[in-house]
């Protein structure tokens, strides 16, 4: 769909999506064929045009509303009935060289197999009649390397966590202070509101709805975090590549990513039970944690609930993430080392994950004003969610 909608219309020559690299040979051969090329290209173009038409028809069925109407239908919580819990500290703390052995039990293996184009859920995938043999062999290699990663300390795990007094402005902005909610806020976290027309009294959500408004009569906080298990990764990958061992280089990167996600999961558990302590009696097994059967959420900039990657800049400035644990942001706001996770903590029991979906020009123009960016820059960063 992405190829049909975003890429193919921009090129005069044929553009073909293949499911994996192994199938590219047959496609390339057909494109080089004197006899089969024209029919193949015509069929692909007709197929992609059909995909575009069906997608446009489907999107047209989703009715949207002006931003002001969506705001009027925002989530309204009773903040006096559920007073915000006070974190055990405000400000920022760093966790250096966390034992990797503590993270291994938290690994969610299903995405690991998806990285290798092996479809299925762990552990059932290991006995799958189609991919079970390949999955089992890969899993054995992964566990062997994982033991070496831990025992030989190939990687280091570092984290930074911050809790800050915060309040929503009653719309989509979250105002953030250093240690006390007084004077001008130190930073503003900009969130985006759903604009699809809702039914059955469902609200149009923005992440700011999960933080108490400034006039709610209660003090509230927001949590921020960044973790990495990628310290030492580049050197080890370079070592494998110098030995022409691409398999182990890819395997190490995939395992480092899984450890980073496991670290984010483990740290979130500590936040819920200890550091913020809003769920001190929580006792969940790893499966329940993977399926997010806990109070609160940890959305990340760039994901469906907060799709603007540029908000990582504010997040990193609040945490001092680069100075404290060595994670840097590229000009496109990717994190380096890549085995890293960052985001926010929202404590409220009503907080849940959602997708913003497509938004309209009125919200984009206001978002540009709120963030201090020009409209063209804002549209570039929000391109995937624009409804125009």
User: 76 φ, ψ to 5°?
Assistant: -120, 115
Looking at the structure, give the CATH architecture of the domain made up of residues 2-61: 3-Layer(aba) Sandwich (3.40)
3-class DSSP state for residue 324? helix
User: What average pLDDT does range 164-178 have in this prediction?
Assistant: 97
What SS3 string covers 219-255? CEEEEEEEEEEEECHHHHHHHHHHCCCHHHHHHHHHH
Q: 65-96+156-231+255-388, what's its fold?
A: 3.10.196
3-class DSSP state for residue 103? coil
Q: What is the pLDDT of residues 30-62, one digit of tens each?
A: 999 888 899 899 999 989 998 998 887 776 667
Hunting for tokens 């992609």 — which residue is that? Answer: 48
Longest C-alpha distance within the chain, in Å?
75
Strand ranges (DSSP E) for the chain?
Answer: 91-95, 156-168, 173-176, 187-190, 220-231, 328-329, 335-336, 340-345
Whole-number pLDDT of residue 23: 80
**Spatial separation of the C-alpha atoms in residues 220 and 177, rounded to whole Å:** 11
**Spatial separation of the C-alpha atoms in residues 326 and 320, rounded to whole Å:** 9
**Considering the chain, what percentage of its residues have pLDDT values greater than 70?**
99
Angle at 170 between CA 347 and CA 72, to 5 degrees: 110
- Check if the beta carbon of residue 363 is closer than 8 Å to that of residue 67: yes
Hunting for tokens 């820059």 — which residue is that? Answer: 377
Exposure string for 353-381, b = 16+ CB within 10 A, e = fewer: ebebbbbbeebbebbbebbebeeeebbeb
Q: What is the pLDDT of residues 203-251, one digit of tens each?
A: 999 999 999 999 999 999 999 999 999 999 999 999 999 999 999 999 9
**Total Cβ atoms within 10 A of residue 172:** 23
- Check if the beta carbon of residue 260 is closer than 8 Å to that of residue 338: no
Q: Closest by alpha carbon to 316, among 227, 204, 384?
A: 227
**Considering the chain, what percentage of its residues have pLDDT values greater than 90?**
86
3-class DSSP state for residue 48? helix
**Spatial separation of the C-alpha atoms in residues 188 and 371, rounded to whole Å:** 9
Query: Would you state the torsion angle of the CA atoms of residues 51, 54, 55, 57, taken in this order, to the nearest 10 degrees?
Result: 160
Q: What is the pLDDT of residues 262-289, one digit of tens each?
A: 999 999 999 999 999 999 999 998 889 8
Query: Would you state the torsion angle of the CA atoms of residues 296, 301, 306, 311, taken in this order, to the nearest 10 degrees?
Result: 120
User: What average pLDDT does range 145-154 have in this prediction?
Assistant: 97
β-strand pairing of 220-231 with 173-176: unpaired
User: 285 φ, ψ to 5°?
Assistant: -80, 175
Whole-number pLDDT of residue 60: 67
Instruction: Provide CB contacts within 8 A for 150, sequence distance 6+.
Output: 100, 101, 104
Q: What is the pLDDT of residues 306-352, one digit of tens each?
A: 999 999 999 999 999 999 999 999 999 999 999 999 999 999 999 99
- Check if the beta carbon of residue 175 is closer than 8 Å to that of residue 185: yes
Tokens (6 digits) for 80:
């006096």
Structural domain boundaries of the chain?
2-61, 65-96+156-231+255-388
User: What average pLDDT does range 160-165 have in this prediction?
Assistant: 98
Which pTM value belongs to this model?
0.86
């Amino acid at each position: 769909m992405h190829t049909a909608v975003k890429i193919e219309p921009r090129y005069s020559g044929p553009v073909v999506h293949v499911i994996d690299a192994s199938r590219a040979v047959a496609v390339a051969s057909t494109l080089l064929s004197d006899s089969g090329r024209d029919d193949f290209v015509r069929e692909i173009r007709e197929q992609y045009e059909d995909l575009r038409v069906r997608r446009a028809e489907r999107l047209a069925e989703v009715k949207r509303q002006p931003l002001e109407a969506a705001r009027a239908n925002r989530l309204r919580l009773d903040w006096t009935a559920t007073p915000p819990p006070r974190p055990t500290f405000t400000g920022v703390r760093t966790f250096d060289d966390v034992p990797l052995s503590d993270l291994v039990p938290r690994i969610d293996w299903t995405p690991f197999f998806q990285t290798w184009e092996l479809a299925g859920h762990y552990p059932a995938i290991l006995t799958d009649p189609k991919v079970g043999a390949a999955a089992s062999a890969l899993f054995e290699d992964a566990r062997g390397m994982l033991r070496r990663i831990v025992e030989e300390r190939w990687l280091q795990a570092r984290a930074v966590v911050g809790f800050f007094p915060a309040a929503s402005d009653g719309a989509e902005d979250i105002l953030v202070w250093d240690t006390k909610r007084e004077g001008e806020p130190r930073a503003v976290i900009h969130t985006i509101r759903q604009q699809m027309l809702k039914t059955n009294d469902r609200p149009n959500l923005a992440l700011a709805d999960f933080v108490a408004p400034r006039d709610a009569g209660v003090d509230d906080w927001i949590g921020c975090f960044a973790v990495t298990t990628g310290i030492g990764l580049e050197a080890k990958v370079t070592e494998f590549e110098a030995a022409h061992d691409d398999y182990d280089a890819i395997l190490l990167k995939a395992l480092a990513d899984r450890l980073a996600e496991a670290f984010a999961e483990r740290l979130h558990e500590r936040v819920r039970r200890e550091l913020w302590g809003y769920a001190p009696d929580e006792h969940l097994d790893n499966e329940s944690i993977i399926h997010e059967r806990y109070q609160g959420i940890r959305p990340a900039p760039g994901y469906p609930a907060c799709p603007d990657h540029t908000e990582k800049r504010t997040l990193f400035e609040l945490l001092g993430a680069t100075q404290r644990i060595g994670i840097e942001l590229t000009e496109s706001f990717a994190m380096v080392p890549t085995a890293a996770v960052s985001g926010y903590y929202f404590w409220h029991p009503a907080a849940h994950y959602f997708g913003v979906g497509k938004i309209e020009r009125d919200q984009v123009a206001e978002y540009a004003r709120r963030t201090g960016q020009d409209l063209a820059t804002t549209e570039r960063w929000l391109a995937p969610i624009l409804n125009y």
